[in-house]
């Protein structure tokens, strides 16, 4: 009977105390936790719920999607603590349990975003999120004798940054067709905070210090996207 009851709770997205392998934090504890830039915030609600209001910096992965765990493993580094929330705390508890089962350290927000809002804590809409984006192109010219070495370093730092830093949406190096020594890197960051954090990471510092002597010139061009709402669709189509 107990086993049947446990399975029933799991099917409803609930967890029993005996199987819980994550921590539950109240709003104050959760807010203190996510103040650490090394902690990743995960919203496991549906896209329309997320768009109406979410915690700033949160990554959206719908807990009801059949490939939820696979998406999380592709987007969330396992060495990071994952701060999970949903509307009321039920879905996020279920999500935290699933993620903990595959090796993540998870903390669930008790009461979900309902409790968060009731405590007067801030939320942000997807439209506001888009307004915080940093979009730029790095115009780089490389000394010819270092070209092969530089291209390898640029590919590596781009891939590692996107993989390890959820706030780094895109670092995409390109070589100009007319002059192979001229590189154009498309960079998109979630906001100023994630960009500043990126600059301090070990992989970026290794790239920067290791390529200083290879670069003849560098110019950063900041851009203002004309249609920010189209950006999520672009990346979805690429997938």
Residues 120 and 144 placed together within one structural domain of the fold: no
Residues 76 and 145 placed together within one structural domain of the fold: no
pLDDT for 223: 93
pTM metric for this prediction: 0.66
Q: Per-residue b/e over 167-188, b at no fewer than 16 CB within 10 Å? A: bbbbbebeeeeeeeebbebebb
pLDDT tens digits for range 100-150: 999 999 999 999 999 999 999 999 887 777 788 899 999 999 999 999 999
Q: Any idea which residue has 């307004």 for tokens?
A: 131
Residues 156 and 54 placed together within one structural domain of the fold: no
Angle at 199 between CA 43 and CA 139, to 5 degrees: 110
Active site residue 18: no
Residues 75 and 115 placed together within one structural domain of the fold: yes
- Residues 81, 93: Cα–Cα separation, whole Å: 15
pLDDT tens digits for range 16-62: 444 579 999 999 999 999 999 889 999 999 989 998 899 988 999 99
Q: Any idea which residue has 């950006």 for tokens?
A: 231
Residues 26 and 49 placed together within one structural domain of the fold: yes
Residues 138 and 105 placed together within one structural domain of the fold: no
Residues 178 and 111 placed together within one structural domain of the fold: no
Residues 106 and 206 placed together within one structural domain of the fold: no
Of 103, 124, 145, the residue that ends a domain is 124
pLDDT for 17: 43
Of 124, 152, 171, the residue that ends a domain is 124
User: Within its chain, how far is the Cα of 108 from the centroid?
Assistant: 17
Q: How many domains does the chain have?
A: 2
Domain that holds residue 83: 2-124
Q: Is 13 left (phi over 0), alpha (psi -120 to 50) or beta?
A: left
CATH number of the domain residue 173 falls in: 3.30.70.100
Of 106, 124, 142, the residue that ends a domain is 124
């Amino acid at each position: 009977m107990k086993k049947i009851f446990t399975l029933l709770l799991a099917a409803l997205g609930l967890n029993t105390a005996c199987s819980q392998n994550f921590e539950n934090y109240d709003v104050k504890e959760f807010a203190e936790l996510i103040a650490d830039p090394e902690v990743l915030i995960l919203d496991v609600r549906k896209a329309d719920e997320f768009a109406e209001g979410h915690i700033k910096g949160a990554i959206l992965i719908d807990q009801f999607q059949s490939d939820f765990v696979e998406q999380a493993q592709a987007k969330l580094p396992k060495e990071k603590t994952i701060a999970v929330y949903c509307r009321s705390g039920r879905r996020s508890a279920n999500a935290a349990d699933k993620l903990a089962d595959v090796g993540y350290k998870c903390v669930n927000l008790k009461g979900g975003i309902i409790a968060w809002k009731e405590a007067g804590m801030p939320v942000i809409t997807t439209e506001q999120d888009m307004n915080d984006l940093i979009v730029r192109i790095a115009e780089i010219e490389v000394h010819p004798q270092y070209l092969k070495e530089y291209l390898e370093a640029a590919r590596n730092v781009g891939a590692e940054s996107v993989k390890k830093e959820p706030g780094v949406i895109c670092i995409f190096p390109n070589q100009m067709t007319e002059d192979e020594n001229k590189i154009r890197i498309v960079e998109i960051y979630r906001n100023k905070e994630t960009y500043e954090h990126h600059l301090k990471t070990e992989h970026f510092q290794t790239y920067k210090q290791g390529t200083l002597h290879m670069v003849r010139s560098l110019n950063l061009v900041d851009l203002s996207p004309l249609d920010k709402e189209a950006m999520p669709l672009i990346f979805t189509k690429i997938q």
